[in-house]
């Protein structure tokens, strides 16, 4: 009989009569790197929570090792070797690295006196196993996102994990950090520790996994080796649709640039940045987190004051010292973190879409105008569901992103800066947002699309430059470059 770490049979789960997981069966073998993919709402999170014991399946059975469960508890799941590393990593920011890695293992032994020397030793051994160097005495709250993730992995190893589930593990990592994570995952696999890798980024799926499971509408659609897939086939299984996005075709509208940047410099952010943007263009800026891309975006929106250089809008040399200045020149900015910077999560769609324009309406709130404006953008951006008095927190990631875009389109911008416009959204929503962006460009808006998703830059822009360590190191028409060239430039080490 083949050895499995986990075997799930006929898992079914309903909430309020709605079936979110429907008769799902799967197995996970030692050392496998399994990718779990699907659209938002496909059942991925529910499946993970059943495997980890946070949800009880209405129907079905899970076998871990030699034991079978119709009702699995979180503590029993952990005892059987299942560890879930969520996007927040579930680390304690006020505790040290050593305490985060080792303390729960110490407490699980039932000892009444904590052996601090043993905690240090065990934590160091766990980090050494994955070839990671982090100061054991540093508070985790002071670490980078990538380091926090490695601390969570080390903790899982110390707790004798047999299966580690990683939920969107690369969302806020640089490409260098992603490559390091791949090395750690490979190390885990070689030692017979299985990894379930959940991601919306298909390039990552093909780079790291050896088997793919696709969920759609709560059903298991396919469970096959990575070798049987091509990207188009995988997208079809995930969405049930053929999605073949056409490259963006720029239609020149005005020989004069709507935006011109000359030798723009912000100390600690970027230096000597120069480029032009024309009406109807989608200019891609590719770069890792920390490359200076976000500082550049915020400088063009008046959120950061540059030290030197020129910003010229429609032939006028402008000084953008605050956001109001940018709005006056018809510049809008969609930030990279919609949850903390883009949306008022517990306010309605009406409130969110009208947040910026409401400030210009004086003391009197024109509720009818607000509703009319919201309905307009809900229709134009296909925001679903089309309920304007529902809080933004209840919408999917893709629809939340459309609400943020709608908020800034309501200001009638002529220059639109999009920073990571599809982070954390599924394949279908990503394609739909790209279509919206292309349509906006066709209306004459000059668009800057900033992203570390190279596939996104290639599919949705007509021109691209790479920013690395605060400098532009490469420029090209999109049609004259490719994924390998851009990926190499994005991660290039230079002095």
**All domains in the chain, ordered by first residue:** 6-239 (3.40.50.300), 259-490 (3.40.50.300)
Among 61-65, 110-114, 371-375, 404-408, which range has the highest average pLDDT?
61-65
- The C-alpha atoms of residue 23 and residue 489 are separated, in whole angstroms, by 45
CA within 13 Å, CB half, 340: 2
Looking at 18-82, list the stretches that DSSP marks H as alpha helix, in order from N- to C-terminal side: 44-51, 74-79
CA within 13 Å, CB half, 339: 8
% of the chain exceeding 90 in pLDDT: 53
- DSSP state string for 59-77: EEEEEETTEEESS--HHHH
Structure tokens at 202: 């298909």
Cα dihedral 386, 392, 396, 400 sign: positive
Mean pLDDT of 387-414: 85
Mean pLDDT of 319-340: 88
At 112 the pLDDT is: 65
pTM value is 0.79
At 8 the pLDDT is: 95
Mean pLDDT of 233-262: 88
Q: In this model, does residue 430 exceed pLDDT 50?
A: yes
At 359 the pLDDT is: 61
Q: What is the pLDDT of residues 383-396, one digit of tens each?
A: 887 777 888 888 87
- The C-alpha atoms of residue 242 and residue 63 are separated, in whole angstroms, by 36
Q: What are phi and psi of 115, to 5 degrees?
A: -95, 95
Q: In this model, does residue 1 exceed pLDDT 50?
A: no
CB of 487 within 8 A of CB of 454? yes
At 495 the pLDDT is: 42
CB pairs under 8 A, 24+ apart, for 435-439? 435/245, 436/381, 436/402, 436/405, 437/282, 438/248, 438/282
Q: In this model, does residue 117 exceed pLDDT 70?
A: yes
- The C-alpha atoms of residue 29 and residue 287 are separated, in whole angstroms, by 37
């Amino acid at each position: 009989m083949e050895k499995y770490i986990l075997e799930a049979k006929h898992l079914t789960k309903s909430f309020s009569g709605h079936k979110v997981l429907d008769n799902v069966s799967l197995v996970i073998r030692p050392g496998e790197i399994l990718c779990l993919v699907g659209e938002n709402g496909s059942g991925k999170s529910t499946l993970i929570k059943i495997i980890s014991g946070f949800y009880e399946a209405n129907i079905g059975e899970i076998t871990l090792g030699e034991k079978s469960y119709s009702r699995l508890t979180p503590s029993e799941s952990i005892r059987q070797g299942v560890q879930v590393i969520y996007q927040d990593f579930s680390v304690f920011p006020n505790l040290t690295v050593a305490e985060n890695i080792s303390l729960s293992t110490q407490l699980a032994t039932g000892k009444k006196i904590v052996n601090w020397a043993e905690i240090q030793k065990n934590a160091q051994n766990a980090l050494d196993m994955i070839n990671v160097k982090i100061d054991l005495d540093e508070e985790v709250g002071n670490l980078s996102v990538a380091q926090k993730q490695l601390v969570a992995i080390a903790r899982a190893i110390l707790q004798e994990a047999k299966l580690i589930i990683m939920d969107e593990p690369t969302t806020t990592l640089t490409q260098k950090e992603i490559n390091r994570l791949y090395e750690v995952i490979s190390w885990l696999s070689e030692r017979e520790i299985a990894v379930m890798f959940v991601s919306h980024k298909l390039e990552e799926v093909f780079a790291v996994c050896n088997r793919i499971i696709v969920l759609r509408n709560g059903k298991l659609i396919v469970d096959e080796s990575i070798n049987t897939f091509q990207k188009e086939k995988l997208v079809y299984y995930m969405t049930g649709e053929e999605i073949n996005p056409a490259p963006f075709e720029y239609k020149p509208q005005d020989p004069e640039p709507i935006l011109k940047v000359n030798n723009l410099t912000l100390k600690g952010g970027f230096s000597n940045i120069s480029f032009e943007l024309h009406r109807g263009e989608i200019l891609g800026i590719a770069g890792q987190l920390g490359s200076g891309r976000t500082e550049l975006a915020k400088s063009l929106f008046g959120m950061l004051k540059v030290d030197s250089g020129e910003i010229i809008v429609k032939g006028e040399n402008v000084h953008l010292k605050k956001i109001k200045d940018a709005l006056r020149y018809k510049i809008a900015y969609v930030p990279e973190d919609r949850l903390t910077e883009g949306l008022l999560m517990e306010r309605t769609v009406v409130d969110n879409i009208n947040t910026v324009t409401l400030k210009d309406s004086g003391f009197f709130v024109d509720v009818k105008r607000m509703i009319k404006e919201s309905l307009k953008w809900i229709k134009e951006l296909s925001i679903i569901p089309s309920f304007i008095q529902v809080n933004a927190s209840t919408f999917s990631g893709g629809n939340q992103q459309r609400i943020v875009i709608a908020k800034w389109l309501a200001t009638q911008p002529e220059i639109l800066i999009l920073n990571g416009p599809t982070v954390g959204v599924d394949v279908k929503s990503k394609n739909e947002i790209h279509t919206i962006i292309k349509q906006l460009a066709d209306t004459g808006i000059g668009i800057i699309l900033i992203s570390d998703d190279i596939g996104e830059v290639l599919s949705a822009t007509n021109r691209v430059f790479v920013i690395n360590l605060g400098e532009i190191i490469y420029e090209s028409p999109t049609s004259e470059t490719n994924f390998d060239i851009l990926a190499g430039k994005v991660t290039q080490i230079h002095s």
